[in-house]
Amino acid sequence: MKVIFLDIDGVMVTGSYQRPSTHYNGYQFNPSCVENLKQIMKQTGASIVVSSTWRKAGFRFLKQMFTANGIDKGLVGQTPVLVNRDRGDEIQQYIEEAQLDPSFTVEQFVILDDHNDMGKLLPYLVQTDGHTGLDQEATKRAIKMLS
């Protein structure tokens, strides 16, 4: 399976688009970032695993958040929360645990995040600018990495 490890703030919620959601406590996703994420998913067949701190609110909340922003397919999981570890460690643990289920093996992945705390997974990062989020350039790079 191809996976997009997705941060939310700085990737989907951007400094240039600050609109409170009427469906959940937080900001709406930037519509252009939503379209870019959908483009990555459509062209690569990748699924989404949330690596954002928003995952602490639970998977049910994440489903609600994504559906409210027009992404009603593709969300399959969230990374674990590891105390005093960087995001790369959390993603690595998710990948290792997924390997235990042959139907859910992570074959290719990309990390979309506005921070670079990925440790040894840094080569898989497509870093976004928190003001613009998932723009066309980052979208092209993510598609290339998943193709």
Instruction: Give the DSSP per-residue string, 90-110.
Output: HHHHHHHHHTTSGGG---EEE
Angle at CA 108, nearest 5°, toward 12 and 54?
30
Comparing CA positions, the residue from 122, 128, 119, 103 lying closest to residue 6 is 128
Answer yes or no: pTM beyond 0.95: yes
Q: Give residue 102's pLDDT.
A: 79
Q: Give residue 101's pLDDT.
A: 83
DSSP 116: -
145 token code pair? 């990495």
Query: pLDDT in tens for each of the 147 residues of the chain?
Result: 999 999 999 999 999 999 999 999 999 999 999 999 999 999 999 999 999 999 999 999 999 999 999 999 999 999 999 999 999 999 999 999 988 887 788 999 999 999 999 999 999 999 999 999 999 999 999 999 999
Q: Give residue 100's pLDDT.
A: 87
